[in-house]
Amino acid sequence: MAFGSSGRLIGAGVQQGLRISFYSLLWAMAAGSGAIVIGVIGTTLSLAVFGVVGLLDAVGSATLIVHFRHAIRHEVISQRHERVTLFVVSAGMAAVGAATIADSAYRLHGTVKDRPLLPGIALAAVSVVVLAALALRKRRIARHIPSRALSADGWVSATGAALASVALLGTTLDKAFDWWWIDPVAAIAVACGAVTMSIVLTHGSDLREG
């Protein structure tokens, strides 16, 4: 394979990165759209935000698919594509985190109560497992390529898994103890983590050996 000045020599990891990005795109589009619809109907903040993060994950995965296909076609990883993809994923994560904090604060101030639905609970439970598995797989492959952009997308999947856990926990506690506030409070915590991670990734301090 050729080695160009614009990038790194590609290996088998790029094929794996392409496959995991494709699987991630399919899941993110299906689960993200479903979560937004169910979250809006049930006015469940964390589930709706989880859906938005899912669509963000889909955008990142689609960008990575283009990136890795270019690498396979030209037999070299483009550093420019890598930087663009990393920016798309990191900026999107920061935007979703900021919007989540603002919406959660509004709900806490106005004591807006959720109306959790059974399909939302089921989707959140499945998403915790699927997204956690995708996050781990993306980060392993990213270290092998290596690709900071794919690693960043792994953190987006991890954020989605965390928000799905928040939605699941918040729904359970709301039903059991009428703790309506637990959902927005937990969503704020996850959102702060997402914003912080986006800053870390943007400045190139990704946890390579994490």
Residue 198 has pLDDT above 90, yes or no: no
pLDDT band at 82 (very low <50, low <70, confident <90, very high): confident
The CA distances from residue 194 to 87, 140, 144, 161, 207, in Å, are 14, 20, 24, 12, 14
31 and 157 Cβ atoms separated by less than 8 Å: no
pLDDT (0 to 100) of residue 1: 39
State pTM to two decimals: 0.79
Q: Mention the CATH class of domain 9-202.
A: mainly alpha
Query: Residue 43's pLDDT band (boundaries 50, 70, 90)?
Result: low
At 69, the pLDDT band (50, 70, 90 cuts) reads very high
Cα four-point dihedral sign 18, 24, 30, 32:
negative
Q: How far apart are CA 206 and CA 105, in angstroms?
A: 29
Put residue 14 in one of left, alpha, beta given phi > 0 → left and psi -120 to 50 → alpha. alpha
**What would the pLDDT profile of 95-145 be if each residue is shown by its tens digit?**
878 877 887 887 787 655 556 667 878 888 999 999 999 999 999 999 988
Instruction: Say yes or no to pLDDT of 8 above 60.
Output: no
pLDDT computed for residue 114 by the predictor:
58
Q: How would residue 92 be classed by pLDDT, with cut points 50, 70 and 90? A: confident
More confident: 30 or 124: 30
Note the pLDDT of residue 113: 57
Mean pLDDT (whole number) for 81-87: 86
Q: Can you give the residue ranges of every domain in the chain?
A: 9-202
Q: Range with the lowest mean pLDDT among 5-9, 59-63, 69-73, 124-128? A: 5-9
Average pLDDT, the chain: 80
